[in-house]
Amino acid sequence: MKKGALIFEGNEKQVFATDHPDKVIFRYKDVTVAYNNVKRARFIGKGALNNQISAILLDYLNRNGVETHFISLLSDQEQLCRKIEIIPLQVVVHNRIAGSLAYRLGVPEGFRHANTIVDLRYNNDDLDDPIINRDHAVALGLATYQELDGMYDCARRVNSLLKPFFHQAGIELVDMKIEFGRASDTGALIISDEISPDTCRLWDEATGERMDKDRFRLDLSRVVESYSNVLKRLKQVTEQ
Ligand code: 5GP
């Protein structure tokens, strides 16, 4: 696969065209940002870790009947993906209340609830990714009701697959953000972007220690070491 021009540059990723019209190359950068780009740092090795972690998780979903954009790993920091039309929505699944949801609902971080909570956000930095509902999303022309039903169902299915998968690695999946796109070849709604410690809250089941981007957000140090531990444990599960 021949790497072509840079077609998108985000804070944490670059997307390159290829010589195939429906395939792109994702390059995971070592940059980390938080709080809507207010906080920024570079962690050598983070891009390679997230590339590999995301590859394991997206490949696991592909093999379990959830269509994602992931095709194959290409190198340390690059993966080959299906081209999509971006849908600027974030679907956030919560198994425990933490982060901004704890603040918004006025409950302590780590609050346990019996149900699964699914939130919808408008992916818009200028507005600080506000929580919206289905009617807002349709009114803005971001997705149809049918697509939104598909996204909610898919997000719950992803959660029901990844929660036990992480559990096998001794990691609790506290919450995660998922994004979707329309595949350029078939138009199907598929999971796009990454699923990694940058987009999930992952707590060590034995110690409660955070193994995700909160280490950076909250200045807890050992960011790369924690991501590396996540990768090591997921590899052990897949190699079983
Ligand atoms: P919170 O609302 O507490 O910021 O985030 C809830 C979950 O979704 C966390 O796992 C967080 O990492 C993820 N998340 C929410 N918004 C974003 C975002 O804009 N970028 C990234 N990388 N993750 C997000």
Write the DSSP assignment of 53-98 as a string of letters.
Answer: HHHHHHHHHHHTT--BSEEEEEETTEEEEE-EEE--EEEEEEEEE-
Altogether, the residues listed in the chain come to a count of: 240
Q: What is the pLDDT of residue 217?
A: 97
pLDDT category of residue 37 using cuts at 50, 70 and 90: confident
Ligand 1: centre distance to CA 177 (Å): 6
Ligand 1: centre distance to CA 176 (Å): 7
Ligand 1 lined by 99 (C-beta under 6 Å): yes
Ligand 1 lined by 201 (C-beta under 6 Å): yes
Ligand 1: centre distance to CA 139 (Å): 24
Residues 109, 182: Cα–Cα separation, whole Å:
35
pLDDT category of residue 5 using cuts at 50, 70 and 90: very high
Q: What percent of the chain has pLDDT over 90?
A: 98
Pocket test for ligand 1, best of 89, 92, 107 (most atoms within 8 A of CB): 92
171-183/89-97 β-pairing:
antiparallel
CA torsion through residues 189, 195, 198, 200, sign: positive
Ligand 1 lined by 90 (C-beta under 6 Å): yes
Above 90 in pLDDT, residue 36?
Answer: no
Average model confidence (pLDDT) across the chain: 97
- Burial label, 60 (beta-carbon count in 10 A; 0-12, 13-18, 19+): buried
Above 90 in pLDDT, residue 159?
Answer: yes
* Across 141-154, average pLDDT: 98
Residues 157, 152: Cα–Cα separation, whole Å:
9
What DSSP element (H or E) covers 215?
helix 214-217
* Across 8-26, average pLDDT: 97
Give the residue whose CA is nearest to atom 3 of ligand 1.
99
Q: Which atom of ligand 1 is nearest to the CA of 36?
A: 19
Ligand 1: centre distance to CA 239 (Å): 29
* Across 185-203, average pLDDT: 97
Single pTM value for the model: 0.96
